[in-house]
């Protein structure tokens, strides 16, 4: 039975076993390559699942998650810029109130000094007996001007505070 086909094929396979093995390995390798290239690539997503585990996502889902994340960061940046602007306005208003207070204190000190100088001039004139009632008119006018200046500065300080409070309230409501 030397004409048996199965026996002839098995003899040929035995004689060429490494060639057949290399062809089978090549076929398996090509099958794996085709299978892997046909599968869509996946990576850990940017958003975790509800239980905190990382979810594998495709390229398109990863890009969608990245766009959503960038949009969320842009919205947060706009909110933070608004808060920073509001904070800067509050600091500016506070600094303006500080400066107004310092200016008011300076004006009050100048008025006190002018008052003491005027009283000194009147006292010296009275002790020397050279006090002239007509000389008291410019002194009185000077004191009246100082009093008007002090009242005006206090009124302006009050008005500045009202305006600043209105600005702060307007910013707080927006």
State the pLDDT at residue 125: 74
Residue 1 has pLDDT above 60, yes or no: no
Q: How far is CA 141 from CA 8, 61, 134, 138, 147, in A?
A: 138, 83, 11, 5, 10
Cα 90 to the chain's mean position, in Å? Answer: 15
- 48-73 as b/e, with b when 16 or more CB fall inside 10 Å? eeeeeeeeebeeebbeeeeeeeeeee
Which ranges of the chain does DSSP label H, i.e. alpha helix?
A: 5-15, 17-38, 59-128, 133-173
Q: Write down the pLDDT at residue 2.
A: 58
Summarize pLDDT for 115-153 with one digit per residue, the tens: 788 777 777 777 777 767 776 677 777 777 777 777 787
- Give CA–CA dist 39/35, Å, rounded: 6
- Is the full-model pTM beyond 0.85? no
Mean pLDDT comparison of 9-18, 78-87, 102-111, highest-scoring range? 78-87
The arithmetic mean of pLDDT across residues 10-35, rounded, is: 85
Cα Dmax for the chain: 163
Instruction: Output the pLDDT for position 94.
Output: 92
Tens digit of each residue's pLDDT (9 = 90 or more) over 47-103: 887 787 888 888 888 899 999 999 999 999 999 999 999 999 999 999 998 998 898
Are 107 and 153 in contact by the 8 Å Cβ rule? The answer is yes
Q: How far is CA 174 from CA 38, 44, 48, 86, 113, in A?
A: 54, 40, 34, 10, 46
Q: How many CB atoms lie within 10 A of CB 146?
A: 19
Structure letter (DSSP) for residue 65: H
Instruction: Categorize the per-residue pLDDT at 174 as very low, low, confident or very high, splitting at 50, 70 and 90.
Output: low
Nearest CA among 160, 150, 151 for reference residue 106? 150
């Amino acid at each position: 039975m030397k004409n048996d086909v199965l026996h002839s094929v098995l003899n040929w396979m035995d004689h060429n076993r490494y060639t057949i093995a290399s062809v089978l390995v090549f076929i398996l390798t090509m099958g794996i390559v085709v299978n892997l290239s046909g599968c869509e690539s996946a990576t850990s997503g940017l958003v975790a699942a509800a239980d905190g585990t990382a979810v594998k996502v495709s390229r398109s889902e990863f890009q969608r998650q990245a766009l959503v994340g960038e949009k969320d960061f842009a919205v947060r940046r706009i909110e933070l810029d608004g808060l920073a602007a509001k904070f800067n306005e509050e600091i500016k208003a506070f600094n303006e109130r500080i400066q107004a207070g310092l200016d008011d204190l300076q004006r009050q000190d100048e008025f006190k000094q002018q008052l003491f100088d005027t009283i000194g001039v009147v006292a010296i004139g009275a002790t020397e007996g050279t006090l002239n009632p007509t000389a008291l008119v410019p002194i009185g006018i000077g004191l009246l001007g100082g009093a008007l200046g002090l009242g005006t500065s206090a009124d302006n300080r009050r008005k500045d505070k009202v305006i600043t409070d209105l600005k702060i309230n307007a910013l707080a409501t927006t």
